Amino acid sequence: MNRKNFLHTAVAALMLATGASSALAADWPTKPITLIVPFVAGGTTDIVARTIGQKLSEALKQPVIIDNRGGAGGTVGATIASKAPADGYTLFLATIAHSIAPGLYKKLAYDFQRDFDPVALAASTPNVLIVNDKVPAKTVAELVAYIKANPGKVNFGSAGNGSTEHISGELFRSMTKTDIVHVPYKGGAPMMADLMGGQIQMAIETSPSASPHIKAGKVHALAVTTKTRSPAYPGVPTLDEAGLKGYDMTTWFALMAPQGTPPDIVQRLNTELARAVQQPDVVKRFEEQGVTAGNMKPAELAKFIGSETTKWVQVAKEAGATAE
């Protein structure tokens, strides 16, 4: 084939592919959509997924099926989602844990920034430092003093190695120079059960998972992890205020699609999600749990994820945290 014929063939193929992609986007969706959630049911990621999934289902006139694929701090679900067809029928709810993972795991089966197309930031929330009622501490200072008096005897739980609770606890340990023991679970729900039961003493849990138990008096909130106080816990100080200067962590949840998903589908999802999280019933539910609705365009979200990954890889390195 001469160069001229080759170029004609290549252009025709590109136009055919573009046309097929446009046709796919125009007809989409014509069948149920699967939303892969990389943590077990009952935790904060699952709560956010089911809230937005219901609204997307109403807007797109197709069922949105929640597929919980927990394990390895969210990396099992990410691996599965990264290998799914890029046709708009498989989506993925990523979290801050996926920006943390490259700093905790020596090798991952996917590249978070390369293998996914950012769609929209769904929500964000502070984490809350909570203790069970057997811990004799009403403030962060009292907790730190208690830990130092009992080195190696205080356990902090997480939703798994590499989760936001894990890195939150490791950052707390590093900044307070205390000897606390990490106990990873298969999700936030079983971790909370053991915290309330006294099998572990503390956790730095996401607000939606912690909120009902705080309100019921089953665990005590000592501080939030964000730089400013949370409206959901007006009387609770930040860790920065409590003496851990510079401590600042916000857990976020982002809707992603396998790399190569048609841009028209990505944009449609971005638009529909932006509408969904501003609906009064969603706003009310989010506010009750200390959650803030997200609002980012795909390009903005891509930059945000890049900066978050750089930040948390460095934090993990400085804290000496590892998931292996």
Whole-number pLDDT of residue 6: 46
259 inside domain: yes
Asked whether residue 13 is assigned to any structural domain, the reply reads: no
Number of domains in the chain: 2
pLDDT in tens, the chain (324 residues): 554 554 555 455 555 555 555 555 779 999 999 999 999 898 889 999 999 999 999 999 999 999 999 988 899 999 999 999 999 999 999 999 999 999 999 899 999 999 999 999 999 999 999 999 999 999 999 999 999 999 999 999 998 888 899 999 999 999 999 999 999 998 888 999 999 999 999 999 999 999 999 999 999 999 999 999 998 899 999 999 999 999 999 999 999 999 999 999 999 999 999 999 999 999 999 998 889 999 899 999 999 999 999 999 998 888 888 887
- Residue 171 belongs to some domain of the structure: yes
Parent domain of 151:
126-224
Helices (H), the chain: 3-27, 44-60, 75-82, 97-104, 140-149, 164-176, 188-197, 207-215, 263-276, 280-288, 298-319
3-state secondary structure of 123: strand
Same domain, 130 and 220: yes
Q: Is residue 76 part of a domain?
A: yes
Q: How many CA atoms lie within 13 A of 70 on its CB side?
A: 19
Please indicate, yes or no, if residue 139 is contained in any of the structural domains. yes
Using alpha carbons, select from 252, 241, 230 the residue that is nearest to residue 300: 252
User: What per-residue confidence (pLDDT) applies to 147?
Assistant: 98
DSSP, residue by residue, 218-281:
SEEEEEESSSS--TTSTTSPBTTTTT-TT---EEEEEEEEETT--HHHHHHHHHHHHHHTTSHH
Verify that 113 and 260 share a domain, yes or no.
yes
The reply to whether 55 and 112 lie within a common domain is: yes
